[in-house]
Amino acid sequence: MAGAALRANPLRSALTMLGIIIGIVTVTLMSSFLTGLTDMFHETTSFMGTDVYYIDKYSWMGGNWLLQQNRPKVTAEDAYRLKQRMTTAKAISTSTTQDVTLKYKANELDDITAVGADAGYEVTNSMEVAQGRFFATEELESARPVCIIGYDIWDKLFHKGDVIGQTIRANGYSLEVIGVSKQVGGLFGDFSIDNQVVIPLQTLFNAYGNPDRSLTIEVKAKNVMDKEDTKAEAEYQMRLLRHLKPSDPDNFGVNSEDQFNQTFDALTNTLTLVGLTITGLSLLVGGIGIMNIMFVSVKERTREIGIRKAVGARRRMVLTQFLSEASMVCIVAGSIGLLLAYAASAYINAHVLSSDSSVHLHFSIMLIITGLLLSTGIGVLSGILPAWRASRLDPVDALRYE
């Protein structure tokens, strides 16, 4: 009966559904984008490792940057003494960076990060060498001019050709390529190993000088479950090494991936709240439109309601009928909206976003279920008042209605 009533006024039903369709499409596309963005962010920050802490002169998040410039440098001596004291660390490495320009024959890449690393770098950074090998102990100790290049460098500089044994120049300093790291990709591709060249730490000092620069100590926990213990121990040992009193603030930073994740999650939560508030307005307008149409429908069918009640229909039956009509409108509109949103997301992923793009719209089964439940809820809420009013009509007065 509810379906027949909707088919009797197809144009009115279609116009009524339009607001819900637009609302479901906008809410679904926004949710799929934010989900894809969040998944991409957490996936691409994972190269840092949730169980790795970076002891640096500066704190990545919070604090006064100008005041932090007066902090003492993190030195190789700090790293050596920390290695002797730490008991909860799986590996500890020391590294520093240098901006370089890479050249190979006629090809050139600017703004590349050269990372000077020691033997522990492969473990603390979970570095996987896709081609070639990592540094040998002799190469690290004797400061051999060798390097491991990132995937993007291999692609742009060598066009994915043979690279092992080739010589590149980094700010004029010759380096032999002994490996290519596995691709990480994602949002931080420019800051990850994909766009870096890793060389022995002492080689970097020999090539570019400034051996007394501040370093970064990377501490990897033995167990992910006990990473907070590793962080606490690293902070405690560094304070002892710096001879800090209990009342003195830290003059170093202990940083981790979790700081990026917490900041990003706070940002996406704000974006989600604002986005749902804005897109939810279209659903509100659609719900008001359905309520208005249902009031019109009750008015038009007052005599019909009187006849039903006269032959024995209960209030519950009338209430159910009109609620069914409102819910059916919203479910059909929600289904159409989800189909349009799915088609739009597939088109955007295939034609607007490139295949190697960091972000893709994530259209999941849970999103479909949520969209249908949302549509049903809007139908019930929008139809409850008109249906209740229809069920309360007096059959005698309804039969006299013209």
Whether this model's pTM surpasses 0.75: no
Same domain? 381 vs 239:
no
214 lies in the same domain as 289:
no
Instruction: Give the end of a domain, one of 233, 255, 277.
Output: 255
Distance in angstroms (rounded) separating the CA atoms of residues 130 and 120: 18
| C-alpha count within 13 angstroms, C-beta hemisphere, residue 195 | 15
CA–CA separation, 32 and 343 (whole Å): 13
Statement to judge: residues 195 and 173 lie in one domain: yes
The stretch 116-129 carries a mean pLDDT of 91
Q: Which of 2-11, 236-245, 248-257, 276-285 comes out lowest in average pLDDT?
A: 2-11
Q: Has residue 5 got a pLDDT over 80?
A: no
Give the domain range for residue 166.
51-255
* Residue 289 confidence class, pLDDT cut points 50, 70, 90: confident
Percentage of the chain exceeding pLDDT 70 = 93
Whether the predicted pLDDT of 104 surpasses 90: yes
Compare 352 and 356 and report the one with higher pLDDT: 352
- Which band of pLDDT confidence, cut at 50, 70 and 90, is reported for residue 46? low
Q: Decide if 215 contacts 153 (C-beta within 8 A).
A: no
Same domain? For 241 and 317 the reply is: no
pLDDT-derived band at 357 (thresholds 50, 70, 90) equals: low
**Domain stops at, among 196, 223, 255:** 255
231 neighbors 51 (Cβ within 8 angstroms)? no
How much is the pLDDT for 73?
93
Residue where one domain finishes, among candidates 210, 228, 255: 255
- CA torsion sign, 281 to 287 to 288 to 293? positive
Same domain? For 205 and 329 the reply is no
Asked whether residue 74 falls in the same domain as residue 132, the answer is: yes
Q: State how far the Cα of 90 lies from the Cα of 242, in Å rounded to an integer.
A: 23
What pLDDT is stored for residue 43 in this prediction? Answer: 65
| DSSP alpha helix (H) spans, 129-192 | 137-141, 151-158
> Helix (H, G, I), strand (E, B), or coil: what is residue 117?
strand
- 87 vs 55: CA distance, rounded Å: 16
Distance from the Cα of residue 236 to its chain's centroid: 33
User: Of 7, 45, 2, 28, which is closest to residue 282 (Cα–Cα)?
Assistant: 28
- What SS3 state is found at 199? strand
**192 and 268 in one domain?**
no
233 lies in the same domain as 377: no
Mean pLDDT along residues 228-245: 93
33 and 146, same domain (yes or no): no
Summarised one tens digit per residue, pLDDT across range 176-234 is: 999 999 987 655 545 578 889 999 999 999 999 888 889 999 999 998 888 899 999 99
Whether 11 and 55 map to the same domain: the answer is no
Domains: count for the chain = 2
Q: Do 148 and 75 reside in the same domain of the chain?
A: yes
CA–CA separation, 149 and 110 (whole Å): 14
Tell me: do 39 and 72 sit in the same domain: no
